[in-house]
Copies of this chain bind each other. A is one copy, B any other.
């Protein structure tokens, strides 16, 4: 799957991923009203609004991008109907040829991590039958429990040719509280980064490992260090745009081959129509605003990478 992601990045010239984090206040009024008219102001109605919103954004951007990253919390908060909208989104993005990174940040002890891995990126057996319950291509994983919490995910990736992005240094402002603390003179995130490189060493695609890392765009200096610690790991970089990261901050997340990183933007793309720069599209054409925002983001990162050389 890492090879497919790279192939798609090279084809689109867009090392970016669109974060499908459909908060209700991003969803235009007309979509909400239509969904509520059909399903009432219910969890099903909310799920339908999310799904229609996602579909229109995907329809307007899929040819420009390699991947999407649905944030499962935004679906899970609406209970079972929300989870159905998540699954529908994953399936639809696959139909459109996109790589799907499930932002699930799961992590537990052995057999429990194995269950998460089976459900999200693997298969489960029921009697004599086998099913793919959710079916993302990559998922994000929390490393706090150590190797035996991560290993079951790695094992499933090996079998299924899927991949992981393991939280190393997150984009939020208090991420340093534990992640930056010094251990033998090195911050915890560096130790986690070393482990990611170790876990990923025997999980190589043709150029990169399918065991990647999450490092926030909001910490470019740390990104530079982590890039060197994990030379063969793809880095998923959240925090671009709305959280403050800019293209110029991001060049050091990439290797000299122009690969090795994929930058996520959620709000900056899916709620672009709310920004002054894209206000001309109006709420009715919100997905065209998203398309324009994708083009601007690709251009921003591309020119930053060009200027680096």
Say whether B171 contacts A126, CB under 8 Å.
no
Given B21, B124, B149, B182, which contacts A172 in the complex, CB threshold below 8 Å?
B149
A57: shortest Cβ distance to chain B, in Å?
18
The reply to whether A174 and B145 contact each other, CB–CB distance below 8 Å, is: yes
Decide if B172 touches A126 in the complex (CB within 8 Å): no
CA distance A143 to B146 in the complex (A): 14
Does A192 have its Cβ within 8 Å of any Cβ on chain B? yes
Q: Which residues of B contact A134 (CB under 8 A)?
A: 79
Provide the residues of chain B in CB contact with A116, threshold 8 Å. Answer: 73, 76-77
- Write the nearest CB–CB distance from A42 to chain B, whole angstroms: 6
Interface residues of A in 112-154 (CB under 8 A from B): 112-113, 115-116, 118-120, 124-129, 131, 133-134, 142-149
Q: A73 touches which one: B77, B82, B108, B182 (CB < 8 A)?
A: B108
Q: Is there contact, CB below 8 Å, between A74 and B178?
A: no
Interface centre among A23, A145, A182 (most CB of B within 10 A): A145
State which size class the interface on A falls in: 35 or more
Q: Is the CB of B124 within 8 A of A77?
A: yes
A80 in the interface, Cβ–Cβ < 8 Å?
yes
This chain's copy number in the assembly:
2
Contacts of A42 in B (CB 8 A): 126, 129, 131
A232 at the interface (CB under 8 A from B): no
A258 lies within 8 A of chain B by Cβ: no
A112-B74, A134-B79 are contacts. A45–B174 as well, Cβ < 8 Å?
Answer: no
Contacts of A179 in B (CB 8 A): 144, 146
Query: Does A248 touch B at the CB level, under 8 Å?
Result: no
Within 8 A of B (CB), among A138-197: 142-149, 167, 170-179, 181-184, 188, 191-192, 195
Give the shortest distance, in Å, between A274 (CB) and chain B (any CB).
15
- Candidates B80, B110, B148; contact of A87 at CB < 8 Å: B80
Residues facing B in A33-48 (CB within 8 A) are: 36, 41-43, 45-46
Spell out A's residues near B (CB within 8 Å): 21, 23-24, 32, 36, 41-43, 45-46, 71, 73-74, 76-80, 82-84, 87, 105-113, 115-116, 118-120, 124-129, 131, 133-134, 142-149, 167, 170-179, 181-184, 188, 191-192, 195
